[in-house]
Structure 1
Amino acid sequence: MSVNSYEKPDFWSKKAFSEGYPARSVYKLKEINEKYSLFTKGSCVLDLGAAPGSWTVFILRTLAGSGKVVSVDLKPLAKNVTGTNLVFLQGDLYDEDVQARLKSEGPYDVLVCDAAPPTTGNRLIDTSRSVDLAETAVYYAQAMLKKGGHCAVKIFQGGDQQAVLAKMKTLFSSARSFKPAACRSESFETYLIGLGKKAD
């Protein structure tokens, strides 16, 4: 896969910029939410790995001033990503202080995670790091979602995806994988969807 294939804007990228979203990834969440109804007005949503902020913007627009979005990333959000019901925390998901702060803003109705590790080109390393991130997101879901809550977590295919999905099946009434149409054809990412968090 050439680097240029990611640099050249495709249909989804152009559509995202024209609609005021920082990145094309918004359409993955849009499709996931249309299919699984993760969040609606009034939802309290935790967005892990949020930068540059397309998912956060889409959630804010869906909530239309209701509910709350709590977003976190190592990098800052794009400057135009703002909202009176947005809380942004710049920090590391693995940091205990960050975890404590995020927990204090919850509990949440929904958790979404579009975080991806810096890719090396070595698929074994990349998928392993992606599994670590997905497992961390599932830990957050277990600790911070309300009963009945939902989650959507990105993971690279080819790693220990089935083990993460098996863990989610113990936490949620149903769990499955789903690859939105807006994923690039050459991409090996998919999403794990957990619906209806069981009681602790």
Structure 2
Amino acid sequence: MTGYKKPDYWSLKAQAEGYPARSVYKLKEMDEKFSLLPGFSGSGQAAPFRVLDLGAAPGSWSLYTLRRMAGRGFLAAADLLPLSRQYDKGLFAGENFFFVQGDITEQAIQDALLSRGPYHLVMSDAAPATTGNRLVDTLRSLDLAKTVLRYAETALVPGGSLIVKVFQGEDAPEILTLIRGLFKAGKSFKPRSCRGNSFETYYIGLGR
């Protein structure tokens, strides 16, 4: 959501800790609660842990993941907009990171991302361009969430996880129902760092 002008506690904290957006604390809280990213030192992964970040700009979720990886694992990301390079200190230029700028619904973008899988985690903080009409915005959000879910269905390894943002509305539980059909567990979670007047929440799939 846009239109917030005055930095709040989370925005100032993100700047102080070297992240381009406050959204990093949403991912951090979900990671800590649901163990979405493993301990990369001695994690016992048979293959490198691979993550797909859909709707990555300005890059806080990708940056958090790369810092957690500490040179191990692999992250692929995509967005219509470029990533901010203000805080990455070269991480976005590393060999274990791939970024493509474009529409995640386009076949060429899908091919580029899927060819670098399969993934252990598919995550998305993507939101549609908002109109101010809550019904329209919610429906657009659900369409976007379904796109992310298709990536998860195609690209996740058995046992993999999913995070997807949705705008809450009458039809939003449909997405959670779909997630519960694909995963051992599907949960709804609203991080503390979400703005009080925001109608976003996150659906999490565990155990593909």
TM-score of the two chains, using structure 2 as the length reference: 0.91
1:119-158 alignment runs, 5 A limit = 119-158=130-169
1:43 Cα deviation from its structure 2 partner:
1.8
1:49 to 30, 46, 55: 55
Deviation (angstroms), 1:7? 1.0
CA distance in 1, matches of 2:72, 2:170: 38
Aligned residues with identical type, % of pairs: 53
Which digits, 9 at most, give the CA deviation of each residue in 1:8-52, with x for residues without a partner?
Answer: 100000000011100000000000000001112242000000000
Q: Which residue of 2 aligns with 1:37?
A: 35
1:10 matched to 2:4? The reply is: no
Q: How far 1:118 sits from its partner (Å)? A: 1.0
Q: Partner of 1:25 in structure 2?
A: 23
Per-residue deviation, 1:83: 4.4
Matched, 1:105 2:105: no
Q: Counterpart in 1 of 2:129?
A: 118
Look up the match of 2:44. Answer: none
Q: State the match for 2:206 in structure 1.
A: 195
- Partner SS, residue 175 of structure 2: helix
Give the drift of 1:182. Answer: 0.4
Q: Does the C-alpha gap of structure 1 residues 83 and 159 become closer, same or farther in structure 2, counting only changes over 3 Å?
A: farther
Q: Helix, strand or coil: the match of 2:207?
A: strand
> Is the CA contact 1:60–1:83 (under 8 Å) kept in the aligned structure 2?
no
Report the Cα offset of residue 134 of structure 1. Answer: 0.5
* Contact 1:16 1:23 survives alignment (8 Å): yes
1:186 to 2:181 alignment: no
Cα separation, 2, equivalents of 1:43 and 1:56: 14
Counterpart CA distance in 2 for 1:160 and 1:177 is 14
Aligned-pair distance for 1:79? 1.8
Q: Which runs of 5+ in 1 are unaligned?
A: none
Deviation track 1:129-155 (CA, whole Å, cap 9, x = no partner) reads 000010100110000000000011000
Letter in 2 for 1:109: H
Shift of 1:159: 4.2
Q: Which amino acid aligns with 1:127?
A: T
- SS of residue in 1 equivalent to 2:184: strand
SS at 2:127's partner residue?
Answer: coil
Dislocated runs of 4+, deviation >3 Å: none
TM-score by length of 1: 0.94
Deviation at 1:69, TM superposition (A): 0.7
Q: Does 1:86 align with 2:84?
A: no
Other structure's SS at 1:127 match = helix
CA deviations 1:97-137 (Å, max 9, x no partner) are: 11111110000000100000111110011000000010100
Letter in 2 for 1:138: L
When the two chains are superposed, the root-mean-square deviation of aligned CA atoms in Å is 1.2
Shift of 1:86: 0.9
- Give, in whole Å, the separation in 2 of the partners of 1:150 and 1:7: 34
Q: Which amino acid aligns with 1:182?
A: S
